[in-house]
Amino acid sequence: MALKKPLGTAFAIGAHVDQTDPIAEAKARDTTLVQFFLGDPQGYKGPEIRYAGGADGLRDDAAAAGVDLYVHSPYIINVATTNNRIRIPSRKLLQQHMDAAASIGAKGLIVHGGHVEKSGGDPASQIRVGFDNWRKAIEATDLKIPLLLENTAGGDNAMARALDRIEGVWEAIARAEGHENVGFCLDTCHAWAGGISLSDAVDRIIGITGRIDLVHANDSRDAFDSGADRHANFGSGQLDADEFASVVRDAGAPVICETPGGAAEHRADFAWLREHL
């Protein structure tokens, strides 16, 4: 199941929606692409399929409607950590969401890079352990669909905030059996808030990973390198409009907007983006 970087500029623009009826949410936004959680994004309880037709029904109905589904894994997953009480349950939860996402025919499962704990030891050594924990996590997970690593906005010990950390994680993943089923999700707000210049973000990321498989297109409420993960609707935040649009255009990948509001606000964001593209 080798991944390929999408080509061309005729990419779909969708949004993060409630999971109860993703197909209806897609229709309300006039899109063919949606992302959602399967259950509580802050809990270890495990995935939950809330669609009335169950997993099989959602898979079949989405295919019939021509709607592509993406699943975002819980925020609490942290497979990089040196804390066994977090890392081991995180691996279990990642596999559970991988299985559930595959059961509904999702195109990918997005996961944050996680972090290692601050300690009295050598920080560089801790970071290296975090990188290798990612390698182990990939080898321990049955990747039934593409797993998309997402860059994150904050944290000094984050695995996927700064470009050098993303490079370290990616090099570790590349040594893992199953690495060919791992892709990359570029979040524009996270990049900006994490201190990655948008002017060359796509080139720098592709230089590291060789790919961008999904874009989380979000304006940022807060300043550059603030570390604050606060999304804003397009044109209402801190991102330069031309740089923002260039990231989306140059990435050439499907786009998910994780911006505030419902269908009306998302349709307005889609229109803003298309105008600036």
Torsional sign, CA 247, 250, 251, 255:
positive
Q: Is residue 5 part of a domain?
A: no
Residue 202 — φ and ψ, nearest 5°?
-65, -45
Q: What is the pLDDT of residues 126-183, one digit of tens each?
A: 999 999 999 999 999 999 999 999 999 999 899 999 999 999 999 999 999 999 999 9
What is the crossing angle of helices 123-140 and 84-103, to 10°? Answer: 40
Q: Is residue 3 part of a domain?
A: no
Q: Is residue 207 part of a domain?
A: yes
Domain of 230, in residue numbers: 13-276
Q: Is residue 170 part of a domain?
A: yes
Alpha-carbon span 159 to 128, nearest angstrom: 10
Average pLDDT over every residue of 13-35: 98
Average pLDDT over every residue of 254-267: 98
Q: What is the pLDDT of residues 34-61, one digit of tens each?
A: 999 999 999 999 999 999 999 999 999 9
State how many domains the chain has: 1
Q: Is residue 39 part of a domain?
A: yes
Q: Would you state the pLDDT for residue 19?
A: 97
Mean pLDDT of the chain: 95
User: Which band of pLDDT confidence, cut at 50, 70 and 90, is reported for residue 120?
Assistant: low
Q: Would you state the pLDDT for residue 5?
A: 43
Alpha-carbon span 198 to 225, nearest angstrom: 12
Average pLDDT over every residue of 248-272: 97
pTM of the model: 0.95
Q: Would you state the pLDDT for residue 3?
A: 47
Average pLDDT over every residue of 1-23: 72
Q: Would you state the pLDDT for residue 119?
A: 74
Residue 4 has pLDDT above 80, yes or no: no
Residue 1 has pLDDT above 60, yes or no: no
Q: Is residue 169 part of a domain?
A: yes
Residue 164 — φ and ψ, nearest 5°?
-70, -35
149 pairs with which residues across the strands? 111, 184
Q: What is the pLDDT of residues 69-117, one digit of tens each?
A: 999 999 999 999 999 999 999 999 999 999 999 999 999 999 999 999 8
Q: Is residue 6 part of a domain?
A: no
Task: Give the CATH number, domain containing residue 192.
Answer: 3.20.20.150
Q: Is residue 228 part of a domain?
A: yes
